[in-house]
Amino acid sequence: MTGKPQRSVTGTTRRLTPDGAGIETAARLLAEGGLVALPTETVYGLAADARQDHAVARIFEAKGRPRFNPLIIHVADLAGVGRYARLTPEAERLARAFWPGPLTLVLPLLPEAGLSPLVTAGNDSVAVRVPAHPVAQALLRRFGGPLAAPSANPSGRVSPTRATHVLDGLDGRIEAVIDGGEAAVGVESTIVGLLEAPLLLRPGGLALEDLEAALGRAIPAPAADPARPVAPGQLSSHYAPRAEMRLATRPAAGEAWLGFGPQDAGATLNLSPAGDLTEAAANLFHYMREIDTGPGTVIAVSPIPESGLGRAINDRLRRAAAPRPVTDPFGRSA
């Protein structure tokens, strides 16, 4: 871990442009121990230098995130991964097939990695991703080191797919956000554990079918322990709007209705009128925010096919509909 100066936010969060000047400013802030939200192809991430204890601790503070919930580190390329984790043959096969892209691999942590132990939450493994977004790539190459970057939102709440979403939840709690437009994929990366046999730890923006085809074998999903997650996105309640959410074929009287497909033409909002799962994934978090009118209201969500990106969408919806903590991430009554 490096002993860089400690920072704290004063005033409002800066909104940076996704050009050379913005990247330069963001890299400087990160080197000083600051927090910068950056666009990726999945959702916006909240980045800090993964080697600085204080900077990583500030991620948990800004988000109200439990310390036992590990983080993903982002690096610019496959060569960078090898500085922090051991690449197994199956990991290298998936990496060459799908990186850069919406895939995170949980790999054995190298003893000499030099990452803050807060990143791994005490596990002897580390979650690694090589993002495809050009702004994320530019920042990683300019910064020259690993960035810990969970989603840039209060813990447990709806993930951000636009810079405005980041500011809605974290304005004044972080130094800056780089405005890179809308996230194209719209749900977080797929996470595959490769410590022993491959395991699907979180469905996400890369379809399970494509991963299994690349490996030539099934990738089962183990039963997760929400009290001891080995990867992000495994808590029982997550991705939640302020309103109550339930999964239903049709809404009850007075409920908002988040539909899917041509049969739901009367929905308040429709994730994809054509029934396209890629479109639905891209719209999911933005529409969850748009339809959310706050506590005391209910959002009914139509069924989504449990295949392809539908697995990731359903995973987010089930966790959003799960019973929630009594207080929000900042200690206020939920």
* Residues 245, 298 contacting (CB under 8 angstroms): yes
**The predicted structure's pLDDT at residue 1:** 47
Q: Judge contact between 202 and 233, C-beta under 8 A.
A: yes
Q: Report how far residue 59's alpha carbon sits from residue 47's, in angstroms, rounded to the nearest whole number.
A: 8
129 annotated as belonging to a binding site for a ligand: yes
Whole-model pTM: value is 0.88
> Average of pLDDT values for 136-156?
96
Same fold, 14-215 and 244-321: no
69 among annotated binding-site residues: yes
Beta strands 103-108 and 190-193 are parallel
Structure confidence at residue 2 (pLDDT): 46
Residue 286's Cβ-count burial label (10 Å; 0-12, 13-18, 19+) is buried
pLDDT cut 90: percent of the chain above it: 80
* Residue 239 counted as an annotated binding residue: yes
Q: Which fold has domain 14-215?
A: DHBP synthase (3.90.870)
pLDDT for the residue 3? 45
Q: What is the pLDDT of residue 222?
A: 84
Tell whether 58 is in a known binding site.
no
Region of poorest pLDDT, from 171-185, 215-229, 317-331: 317-331
**Under CATH, which number does the domain 244-321 receive?**
3.40.50.11030
Is residue 42 annotated as involved in ligand binding?
yes
DSSP state of 83: T
Residue 65 annotated in ligand binding? yes
Question: What is the domain partition of the chain in residue ranges?
Answer: 14-215, 244-321
Helices (H), 66-191: 78-81, 89-98, 117-120, 134-143, 163-170
Write a three-state SS string for 271-298: CCCCCCHHHHHHHHHHHHHHHCCCCCCE
What is the structure's pLDDT at 284?
A: 95
Structure confidence by residue, pLDDT tens digits, 88-116:
999 999 999 999 999 999 999 999 999 99
